[in-house]
Chains A and B, each alone.
Chain A
């Protein structure tokens, strides 16, 4: 099955700086890559996703890039704010198959 690795496990940045979280996946057939944000005591919620037919997607301060050849994808958060502090999970799955595997998570702390 799919194996997703995520780095770093913890990330601390100063407010206003950028944060980058990277994931690699093993199954070359994977073609859907969502990112979830989980705030303390809350459920994970989708913040952005990308499909394999595009290399980059942006939504305000959040962007995701995908390199299918290298089998890695990254989350970029610009102009970080304290409310961005949370655990972020990347995931990968195949079309028509909801065998969605998650990375181990990155705990992001944005210091004011």
Chain B
């Protein structure tokens, strides 16, 4: 069974640009969550999608958005990039959420210059 796949693995963008990250969950998993990981800040919850609907949202500005497609694949978009957006972005998929194990992807390392 294929694991959670995130693309691209690495990205370098310029301040003010926008970026789209992709996450393909494990087959059969309907819940996809996104996290921002920075040194010292741990895993900060961005949002969670379930059956194409955003079910939960963390405390990030509106520049961070996402969506989920009918095949459960999810994308995350960050507009008007700032230097502080440089981080490892991880997505995690689970069967339904709640008390189901979350499986993480390898992450996308975003560097904003």
Show the binding face of A for B, using Cβ within 8 Å: 1, 6, 31-32, 34, 36, 42-46, 49, 51, 89, 91, 93-105
Q: Are A45 and B97 closer than 8 Å at their CB atoms?
A: no
B48 near A99 with CB under 8 A, answer yes
- How far apart are the CA atoms of A89 and B42 in the complex, in Å? 8
Which one, A1, A46, A96, contacts B102 given CB within 8 A? A46
Would you list 28 pairs from A and B whose C-beta atoms are within 8 A, ordered by A residue? A1-B59, A6-B42, A32-B98, A43-B104, A43-B106, A43-B107, A44-B43, A44-B90, A45-B104, A46-B101, A46-B103, A49-B101, A51-B99, A89-B42, A96-B97, A97-B97, A97-B98, A98-B33, A98-B48, A98-B97, A99-B45, A99-B55, A99-B56, A100-B33, A101-B45, A102-B35, A102-B43, A104-B42
Asked if B74 is an interface residue, CB under 8 A from chain A, the answer is no
The distance in angstroms between the C-alpha atoms of A36 and B97, with both chains bound, is: 16
> Are B55 and A98 in touch, CB under 8 angstroms?
yes
Which B residues fall within an 8 A CB radius of A? 31, 33, 35, 40-45, 48, 50, 55-56, 58-59, 90, 92, 94, 96-107
Write the nearest CB–CB distance from A43 to chain B, whole angstroms: 4
Q: Which among A34, A42, A44 has the greatest number of chain B C-beta atoms within 10 A? A: A44
Chain B residue nearest to A106 (CB atoms) is: B42
Cross-chain contact of A104 among B40, B92, B100, B104 (Cβ < 8 A) = B40
Cα A34 to Cα B92 in complex, Å, equals: 14
B residues within 8 A CB of A89? Answer: 42-43
Task: Determine if A97 and B102 form an interchain contact, defined as CB atoms under 8 angstroms apart.
Answer: no
**Residue ID in chain B nearest A31 by CB atoms:** B99
Residue of B33, B58, B99, B101 with most partner-chain A CB within 10 A: B99
Q: Nearest Cβ in chain A — how far from B35, in angstroms?
A: 7
Besides A93-B98, A97-B98, 9 new A-B residue pairs in contact (Cβ under 8 A), listed by A number? A43-B107, A49-B101, A93-B97, A96-B97, A98-B55, A98-B97, A102-B42, A102-B44, A105-B42
CA distance A93 to B50 in the complex (A): 15
